[in-house]
Amino acid sequence: MSTGPQIVYIGAPEADASTFEARIRAEIPDIQLFATNDRAEAMHHLADAHGLIAHHFQFDEEMLARAPRLRWIQSLTTGTDAILKLNRLRDDVTVTSTRGMHGPQMSELVFLLMLALLRNFPKMQRNQAAAIWERWPQPLLWGKTVVIVGVGAIANTELAEGAGLRCDNGIWVDEYCRTSDPAVYAAGDCTNHPSLRFGRRVRLESVDNAFEQSKAAALNMLGRPTAHDRVPWFWSDQFDNKMLIVGLTHDHDSQVVRGDPRSRSFSVCYLKGRELQAVEAINHSKDYMAARKLIADRAAMDLARLADSAVALKDAV
Ligand SMILES: Cc1cc2nc3c(=O)[nH]c(=O)nc-3n(C[C@H](O)[C@H](O)[C@H](O)COP(=O)(O)OP(=O)(O)OC[C@H]3O[C@@H](n4cnc5c(N)ncnc54)[C@H](O)[C@@H]3O)c2cc1C
């Protein structure tokens, strides 16, 4: 039996913890790994744990209290700012996440495709097919020293906390933008609010959300009950590429690329079963526009038609 560091892995209910455990044991025999999908069961293994791998929402004060030897937390999801706020998180515990600090993030697939575009990968492929050897400088980086700074934002809730409002990764509000004090409303980046469409709480950083949620808050304050129920959307201009994201990518079981990324106009659709959850459209505003309605309507997609970019997204149902 290994005497190396002890790691506890807590998967999501549907994750295959035993497969994960078997693979890690085979590849890194020096660590003692306990993998489970049952958080309650994991709680019994924390006393000697040096590392804890879990989704951000699975961490709480009790868990940290039970793990006095903990040195490392790996969050499997975005939302690590919620972990950083736990009072029992000691300074000598390192928190890492491969998914960014807070969601929603650009998916890895789209990130890689955009990076390939910026490096003129289509030209490389054409050259390869024609057996041409050609080098060209990467115009963005040529002759430059590069520093990459990953900036995340944590909602500054000190004022709200001081006023006694419930805060947990943002100011806690309901769909009517009401805080835990019914006389106080909140809207925008600082709120942790329910997404009715996605059935989970979210803290979004987007102009559209800030606009629309504050409209709903104003109407509610005026006595006109209005639920804030938008499908979230985001935009980002990456040099000469326009990226539009609609929906949330966190919960999908398949993805379909529409169009040819080499054409610089394509989209990636994320599905749960046949239901469209999110679309990331690169220079493809038509798919983005259609997706806003399809996602809101919980439309069941025809997967074969969806994969055929000759069929308009709105008709792929
Ligand atoms: C670099 C960057 C790029 C972005 N790009 C995009 C983008 O491409 N698309 C997109 O949709 N969104 C983008 N965003 C996010 C977008 O800017 C925010 O979602 C939006 O501004 C949120 O609006 P808000 O009113 O909720 O908060 P804010 O715009 O942050 O306004 C909050 C205001 O409250 C003030 N304030 C804070 N505390 C106090 C206090 N105690 N007393 C008084 N005043 C206080 C602040 O000074 C600030 O003026 C970007 C953000 C950044 C930083």
Residue nearest to atom 1 of ligand 1 (CA): 151
Residue nearest to atom 53 of ligand 1 (CA): 153
pLDDT band at 151 (very low <50, low <70, confident <90, very high): low
pLDDT band at 155 (very low <50, low <70, confident <90, very high): confident
Residue showing tokens 């998916």: 107
Query: In this structure, what is the dihedral angle of CA atoms 207, 170, 226, 185, given to the nearest 10 degrees?
Result: -110
Residue nearest to atom 35 of ligand 1 (CA): 156
Q: CA of 7: how far to CAs of 23, 33, 46, 58, 285, in Å?
A: 14, 5, 9, 15, 45
Indicate the residue type of 93: V
- Ligand 1 centroid vs 230 CA: distance in angstroms? 19
The CA distance from 35 to 74, in Å, is 14
Question: Any residues with Cβ below 6 Å from ligand 1, and which?
Answer: 156, 159, 188-189, 205-208, 210, 234-236
- Ligand 1 centroid vs 74 CA: distance in angstroms? 28
CB of 191 within 8 A of CB of 168? Answer: no
| Contacts of residue 254, Cβ cutoff 8 Å, sequence gap at least 6 | 270, 271
Yes or no: is domain 108-140+239-315 CATH 1.20.120.430? Answer: no
Domain ranges of the chain: 6-97, 108-140+239-315
CB of 36 within 8 A of CB of 7? Answer: no
Per the omega criterion (within 30 degrees of 0), is the bond before 104 cis? yes
- Ligand 1 centroid vs 211 CA: distance in angstroms? 11
**Which two three-digit tokens encode residue 232?**
């979230």
> Mean pLDDT across the stretch 101-123?
70
Ligand 1 atom with minimal separation from the 189 CA: 26
Model confidence at 1: pLDDT above 60: no
Q: CA of 12: how far to CAs of 33, 36, 84, 198, 287, in Å?
A: 17, 9, 20, 17, 31
- Ligand 1 centroid vs 190 CA: distance in angstroms? 9
- Ligand 1 centroid vs 153 CA: distance in angstroms? 10
Tell me the pLDDT tens digit for each residue of 268-311: 999 888 999 999 999 999 999 999 999 999 999 998 899 888 99
> Cα angle vertex 172, ends 253, 272, to 5°?
10
Question: What class does CATH assign to 6-97?
Answer: alpha beta
Tell me the pLDDT tens digit for each residue of 53-91: 988 778 999 999 999 999 999 988 766 777 888 999 999
CB of 168 within 8 A of CB of 192? Answer: yes
Radius of gyration in angstroms for the set of CA atoms belonging to the chain, rounded to a whole number: 23
At residue 96, what are phi and psi to the nearest 5 degrees? -125, 160
- For residue 95, what are the β-bridge partners? 73
The CA distance from 81 to 85, in Å, is 6
**H or E element that contains 189:** none
Ligand 1 atom with minimal separation from the 207 CA: 11
pLDDT of residue 105: 54
CB of 42 within 8 A of CB of 34? Answer: yes
